[in-house]
Structure 1
Amino acid sequence: MSSFITLFSVDSILLLLFLGAVVGIVAGLFGVGGGLVIVPVLIWSLPLLGVEEGLSVHMAVGTSLATIVFTSIAAVRAHHRRGAVVWRYFLALTPGILLGAWLGGMIAGGLEGESLRRLFALFLLIVAFRMFREAPLETRYGLVSRWQNSGVGLGIGAISALVGIGGGTLTVPYLNGGGVEVRRAVATSSACGLPIALAGTLSFVWVGWGAAGLPAGSSGYVYWPVVLIIVVTSTLLAPAGASLAHRLSPYWLKRIFALFLLFVSIRLLFS
């Protein structure tokens, strides 16, 4: 593999550092795992780094999942120290999640880049409208059925890997609706993000292996130099975003982020 310096120009490295900083601040500010931000940012920026247009969407999703492997480990450790992770629900969901995330990567590999981009944009639209709606969740069902948890885990894993996210927008509502207190639901969702990211990353490596036009430093649809820079810079700057979040109104934070997602989804749909 070529050395890191020969892979990118100085301008490209500065661009990646800036992108990682943006991801870290936004993730800390709005409390998201990063995939909702990383994927659209990479879709637009990877061509500037020399990645072919036809590969940029798949590489954005695969690379996003690889970054979540590392960021989720840090998040899970923090939540576990506070005793917030409900491990029995994590274990109940994980088998379905692993299979679903692998299948999600396989499905993504069979889609054209344009189709995958529009699918991600539609997912962002749904998330944005749900955030605007802000309907409080109430306990509506139990989480005792093994088959129910396996089936839901399969769906969460498949959708999350397909669009390159850690699954929090899907896992938290499911756990909370099943009676898990919201902070513990968030912590358990962070733990579930690790098997999603691991299986999804491996799937995107597998399905993209040997694809024509892959840049140096990549394994399948995962671009490791980009993963490295985003993980380092976003980890360093996420606390700054979190600090800023504590000074702002949660009500307006949620709506600002929903507007951001709405803007991004429209750009992805019609650009």
Structure 2
Amino acid sequence: MADTGTGAPARVRWNKVPEVTVYFWVIKVLCTTVGETAADLLNEKAGLGLTGVSLLMSALLAVVLVVQFRTRAYRAGVYWLAVALISVVGTLVSDNLTDNMGVALETTTTVFAIALVTVFALWYRTERTLSIHHIDTTRREAFYWLAVLCTFALGTSAGDLLAEKMDLGYWLSALLFAAAIAAVALARFTLGLSAVTSFWIAYVLTRPLGASVGDYLSQPTGDGGLGLGTVVTSALFLTVILALVVYLIVTRKDVTEQQAVRQTGAPAHRA
């Protein structure tokens, strides 16, 4: 318990997600790349098939999310492991629909976009905010991770739609999504686009950006890639992710301050 300064006792609520820094965006893009290449690696090299890989990775994600929900505060290792796994699962959800069930990329992109908007609408209707600075209750955290899953599935479908169905190629698609992210940043700092809106738009766009980069590095040269393969690309990006996460665990540069909350549940101050 803590003192709110008003004499009313308070409990401390901790935000369960990291502060949005340059480290956040770098690791996010790296995780999206790994999500794309690792899904291809497990599907093709391990011989599990899309269904087998989907079941395995979904089970692993469920376990990690249980651990994430049970933590009292943000833990870099657990959080980013969940993001990496949800990136793989989001990719597999899209791939299963398009490859196994024959659903058109235009359809999956539209469906996932509607699903994401629906999650945001329910989240805002319930909590009156979509800010990630207040992911400090189980319900808010559930909305947060559901939204993240939808962004990864949407980003996978949208990225594949542009790079493959519209035949833009991997590197051109990457440049296009990078330009879109830059436009969002410009709108945020010059036109006054809200921080919450710009964050979630950028969060969606980094998924196809990372996927396009991953495909460009891993795919054969004949298919428009550099031919590094999924093993090398996945290992390279996982190494960088691990190094950055260890750095954040040690330095705690992305840890937000706690929020004191009165017994009634009303915030005493914003950290």
Both structures adopt the same fold (TM-score exceeding 0.5):
no
Structure with max Cα Rg: 2
Answer 1 or 2: which has greater helix percent.
1
TM-score of the two chains, using structure 1 as the length reference: 0.34
TM-score of the two chains, using structure 2 as the length reference: 0.34
